Structure 1
Amino acid sequence: MSADDRRRAVVRGLALAIAALSLLVVAVSAYLRLDAAGVGCADWPACYAQILSGEPAPLHYGAARLLHRIAATAALLLAIVLVWRCLRPSPLPAARYAVLLLLLMLALSGLGFLSADPRRALVGFLNIVGGLGLVSFAWRTALAAQQEAAPASAPGCRLLTLGGGALTAAVLLGAWIGATYSAAACPSLPGCDGGSLAAGWQALNPLLQPAAPALPGDAGAAALHLLHRAFALLALLLLGAAAWRALRRPERRPAALALAALLVLVFVMGLAAVASGLGLWLIVGHGVAAAALLAALATLQRRMA
């Protein structure tokens, strides 16, 4: 093995370790946020989002929060080493993802100082999306260290691009639903009572500071759920079709199978979460699986040569 190959192997190992730590951070963050919001509480949904009333409560440093801090700190330290290994003595193709990963970590660290007040919906939204971004950038760094980027073939690439756009929209809407404490607004399947697109646009106001949770009957929050579900279904169809096409090529088959399996898992967990009355661990699992799905999408994109 040449020195360059050894260097790439080290970079890939560091990136995979950061991806695993970031996935842990996503899971623990989701648990802390949802548990504080009262998801799964006994008097549901009346007990939901009681933290919005009154002044923000001081943080309690239990085992879960301590685990979150340790994992986040370890990931940050590894990211610094990763960037150094990517840039010296000469930049690797993975360097751009590594630098973006480190910058995102630093931005999220700064954002943490604004996260104490749960009424800052935009801050909560950026924290959720940023956590998913950590997993994605770390995974893309590992992929870039493994092989050079390859041009994508036209048919599969178009489906992946369109499906990736739909998936991104679904993820962003899901994050906004969580950040605005709108999870309880649509407890039924497949639709929501009283939802309207016009009200949904108003509910997307980035300056929104919710004073109370959105409960069933809230037209704006219900519209957010409808949009989230519509984009999720569109992503399932488009990415499922792309994975089906990719199965024809042996070198793409593992990535296609992983993408298809995670698509089904995320979709089923979302349905199960609603059907169960928003079980805490189902929602946490739904978010973690979504992060893994974004990584699987990146893998198949690189295999579409």
Structure 2
Amino acid sequence: MNKSMLKTLSSWTLVLTMVVIILGAYTRLTDAGLGCPDWPGCYGFLKVPMSSERIALAEQAFPERPLEPFKAWNEMVHRYFAGTLGLMIAAIFFFSWFGKEQGPRLLPTLLAGLVIFQAALGMWTVTMSLLPIVVMAHLMGGFTLLCLLGLYWLQLRPELVEGIETRLASLKPLAVITTIVVALQIALGGWTAANYAALACIELPICEAGWSSRLAISEAFDLHLGHDDYEFGVMSADARQTIHVFHRLGAVITLLVVGLFSALLWRRAETSTMKKLAVALALILLLQFSLGVLNVVLHLPLINAVAHNFVGANLLLCMVLILYQLRHRAKQQEIH
């Protein structure tokens, strides 16, 4: 495989990762995470059982969880796409190491390792009955895959990161802090979703009156191990409200930190590429914040909630790509 074909493969793999993230959010938000109670098949079959014979066998094997075709198909479609993504990442790994025109090797190796671990998290999500820490880790793993693929896509196109901007060197520490803030806020969002706390507060700006007196921090951030089933959550209403409040406060902090960074990046950027990235970051940030507000006002409409998940992934991707460019330019400055 030549470099041009590897570039094409990386582009399609990046797009497929976005599709898998959307499907994962849709699966979770339609309560289909246990639509198939086994893994990797569905009720012992490679596809959702549809004939009366197979349905009878499925319900006999899993009497505690009767087949719901809509949820089962949601889950299996997500698995089919995720499996295809795994094969494409395996191809990137193989051709990066053994192809005629070998490209970067570190990121393909990390991607191969991560996609295997991500598959294991997908299995544990089912076998551990939606244990929140596993569900959150699975979400973060998907977002990390997207970011690593974005970096790999950029590495194959070095012309996009050429040039030196001396005024941007001082922004690198703030870029690192901003990326960490975004990642922590996404993790909080994943924890909120995994514990079914998205509708624990339905009033603005923080929560219902008296929320501060009902905070249950120790319960809200406890792993709650030992339950047989975590579907629809095991925490008290106060604990879920606490998680939601922390996620909202985190959203305000993220808005301020990322907003400040994007403004400074736009002011100091000397090339149109970096200015465009600064504008893109600001627009994605505003869109994500608006979607979060609409989730509360409209009581978590499905399309809006899926979009909130997807835009959050792109916010992190945008920060990682900016950080990579700043790091690349800092190295160039050292050389020169």
Q: Work out whether residues 196 and 223 of structure 1, in 8 Å CA contact, stay in contact via their aligned partners in 2.
A: no
Give 1:42's aligned residue.
none
Q: Deviations over 1:106-147 (max 9, x none)?
A: 112223333235442222222222221221121121122222
Q: Work out whether residues 122 and 207 of structure 1, in 8 Å CA contact, stay in contact via their aligned partners in 2.
A: no
Structure 1 vs Structure 2 CA RMSD: 3.1
- Work out which of the residue numbers 179, 185, 191 in structure 2 matches 1:164: 179
Question: SS of 1:183's equivalent?
Answer: coil
Question: SS of 2:216's equivalent?
Answer: helix
Give 1:178's aligned residue.
193
Q: Give distance in 1, aligned partners of 2:233 and 2:88.
A: 38
User: Between the two proteins, what is the percent identity of the paired residues?
Assistant: 23
1:200 aligns with 2:195: no
Greater radius of gyration (CA) = 2
Q: Give distance in 1, aligned partners of 2:300 and 2:313.
A: 19
Give 1:41's aligned residue.
none
What aligned pairs does 1:95-174 form with structure 2 within 5 A after superposition? 95-116=105-126, 118-147=129-158, 153-174=168-189
Give 1:241's aligned residue.
260
Question: SS of 2:178's equivalent?
Answer: helix
Q: Give distance in 2, aligned partners of 1:225 and 1:143.
A: 36
Q: Give distance in 2, aligned partners of 1:230 and 1:266.
A: 14
Q: Work out whether residues 284 and 311 of structure 2, in 8 Å CA contact, stay in contact via their aligned partners in 1.
A: yes
Q: Work out whether residues 179 and 320 of structure 2, in 8 Å CA contact, stay in contact via their aligned partners in 1.
A: no
Q: Work out whether residues 187 and 275 of structure 1, in 8 Å CA contact, stay in contact via their aligned partners in 2.
A: yes
Give 2:97's aligned residue.
87
Q: Work out whether residues 169 and 228 of structure 1, in 8 Å CA contact, stay in contact via their aligned partners in 2.
A: no
Q: Work out whether residues 200 and 222 of structure 1, in 8 Å CA contact, stay in contact via their aligned partners in 2.
A: no
Q: 1:167, CA displacement in angstroms?
A: 0.9
1:220 aligns with 2:239: yes
Q: Please give the TM-score of this superposition, normalised by the length of structure 1.
A: 0.81
Give 1:294's aligned residue.
316
- Shifted more, 183-192 versus 242-251: the winner is 242-251
Give 2:51's aligned residue.
none
Note the residue ranges of structure 1 that are not aligned, 5 or more in a row: 39-53
Q: Give distance in 1, aligned partners of 2:234 and 2:265.
A: 41
- Work out which of the residue numbers 64, 74, 87 in structure 1 matches 2:84: 74
Q: Give distance in 1, aligned partners of 2:223 and 2:96.
A: 36
Q: Give distance in 1, aligned partners of 2:223 and 2:102.
A: 37
Q: Work out whether residues 122 and 206 of structure 1, in 8 Å CA contact, stay in contact via their aligned partners in 2.
A: yes
1:24 aligns with 2:34: no
Tell me the amino acid that sits aligned with residue 132 of structure 1: F
Larger RCO, structures 1/2 (Cα 8 Å, 6+ apart): 1
The 1:91/1:185 distance shift into structure 2, 3 A limit, reads farther
- Work out which of the residue numbers 276, 286, 303 in structure 2 matches 1:264: 286
Give 1:274's aligned residue.
296
Question: SS of 2:156's equivalent?
Answer: helix
The 1:10/1:273 distance shift into structure 2, 3 A limit, reads same
Q: Deviations over 1:231-253 (max 9, x none)?
A: 22222222222222222422311
- Shifted more, 154-163 versus 192-201: the winner is 192-201
Q: 1:12, CA displacement in angstroms?
A: 3.4
Q: Give distance in 1, aligned partners of 2:246 and 2:104.
A: 35
Q: Give distance in 2, aligned partners of 1:126 and 1:139.
A: 20
